Structure 1
């Protein structure tokens, strides 16, 4: 099993769809090549940004296979396999990801109703399906999706996860970085990649190894420079870069644009990738970048992005 500690900036990858909800697999290579140019350290696919929850198993497999082929020998790819009511689907997706060369597989907990024991049993099944691939839990909501809706101390969770032989890290989408620091204290070898995009600078101070997020889908190089500034001790400059990225996050999150349509709009207008529509069964059902482009705030979003965000030309 690969034991490399992943660091840096890992954009959360969108899933490009046509108007009928079909996956535009031909965009896998252009997207991977763009992220290589923007100096990404890896990709995380089929999470929230990739609309994994709103795609069929077959479509998720189609997109994973295309991206993994395009990224081979270029970028490590994390494939999220969760969100399934039928847990057998997660196991199938994990085996498929491993077969096609994923660096790692990842999953949210089953639900806030599922106990820690239920989740550990589920994670062990994922590990068995992908025995030579690192497994990362997707931590959200103070870990309540892992523990039946209650909070849990990091040492207790780490003790329970000893039963999962491939457990190597956490996608930590939370803003309580005390918890992150405790994970690192008790498991210094644990690979922790944070998903609180607007607080990425804070997470690095508290010991994260890198960042995974939707905001980085369009600000990858900008975040790379920000992290370099931190490492150089240029904290004022790093903080200014975080603030500028947050302005873009605020602009595309407004209802008139929408976070995911806004990201797809920027991929088209700035990076020349026609990311298409959002999932017809998701919260942005059927919205295309072209429709966001005609809405209030879209032109301002593109202008704001060009003014504030560093892009590797």
Structure 2
């Protein structure tokens, strides 16, 4: 494994995108959010993905967010940026621009909405790979629940021929598929798990890390789970995994308005979820999330 890919391991929160009341990127809060993650001990950051509301942002907002994150991170931890989108030419334009801003690690969901074949997916990813600088690396992002198209083992195996292909984030929620990805990719690339309920199992199988939206609101829990797994403290890891599951239930499995509320409960006001999300949250949902966060924070300190 090259030294570049080795940087991608452990816990990468899938960052929310802080916005002000007008929907513009709140750079001051981005700095606050990045420091909050660094102080929690995370290993890197994933920006402009599903939790980052990528599909609700225009290109100017995306570049503004990335610039703020890179500046705030200041090379303390690696930053991965999601660039997957259609049309393909706009995706390629974004790929070129994020690299000009200094991004080295890129990630992309497959083409979406229409049912695409493996040949179509390979065409799409090869086109992205052709835009990469020699020191840039691409991670696939498998999330068929949102993108409709699942990334097959054959696509992954074929892309392993390309030196800039670095691995895959798997959010399909099938641990057997995660294991198969690990077998196909081998030791020179990373498989990152995107399904919170499978983190412990994925680490036990050899996954390189976790990219989680729920890590926004309780990053220290995910860091502890990764540490316990790395040290093969499986009883402790199981306790922590159950706590992750409780958190996921309280956020309704990554509901964006609730994730942003969770951060406000941690003292970081990141603004509301972007339209067309309906921002008002019932008192019942608010109290459930608040109680769960308080309960989990107390329990983490006892493990």
Question: Same fold, TM exceeding 0.5?
Answer: yes
1:172 partnered with 2:160 = no
Matches within 5 A, 1:137-156: 137-141=140-144, 145=149, 152=152, 154=153, 156=154
Q: How far, CA to CA, are the matches of 1:173 and 1:102 in structure 2?
A: 23
CA separation of 1:236/1:163 partners in 2, compared to 1, >3 Å: closer, same or farther?
A: closer
- Cross-structure match for 1:134: 137
- Cross-structure match for 1:160: 158
Indicate conservation of the 8 Å contact 1:141/1:174, yes or no: yes
- Cross-structure match for 2:198: 199
| 1:262-308 superposed Cα distances (whole Å, 9 cap, x missing partner) | 111121121x2111011114xx24x1xxx43x632212311221111
Cα shift at 1:119: 2.1
Q: How far, CA to CA, are the matches of 2:111 and 2:161 in structure 1?
A: 17
- Cross-structure match for 1:308: 296
Q: How far, CA to CA, are the matches of 1:113 and 1:208 in structure 2?
A: 28
Indicate conservation of the 8 Å contact 1:12/1:45, yes or no: yes
Q: Secondary structure at the match of 1:296?
A: helix
Cα shift at 1:128: 2.6
Q: Secondary structure at the match of 2:116?
A: coil
- Cross-structure match for 2:227: 228
- Cross-structure match for 2:272: 277
Cα shift at 1:124: 2.3
1:38 partnered with 2:40 = yes
Q: How far, CA to CA, are the matches of 2:30 and 2:10 in structure 1?
A: 21
Indicate conservation of the 8 Å contact 1:35/1:220, yes or no: yes
Matches within 5 A, 1:99-138: 99-111=100-112, 112-131=114-133, 132-138=135-141
Q: How far, CA to CA, are the matches of 2:290 and 2:128 in structure 1?
A: 40
Q: Secondary structure at the match of 2:13?
A: strand
Cα shift at 1:62: 1.1
Structure 2 alignment gaps of length 5 or more: none
Cα shift at 1:12: 0.4
Q: Secondary structure at the match of 2:128?
A: helix
Cα shift at 1:162: 4.3
Structure 1 alignment gaps of length 5 or more: none
Dislocated runs of 4+, deviation >3 Å: 162-165
Q: Indicate the RMSD between aligned Cα atoms, in angstroms.
A: 2.2
- Cross-structure match for 1:243: 242
CA separation of 1:301/1:93 partners in 2, compared to 1, >3 Å: closer, same or farther?
A: same
| 1:222-275 superposed Cα distances (whole Å, 9 cap, x missing partner) | 111122223334322221111122112112218xxx8211111121121x2111
- Cross-structure match for 1:78: 80
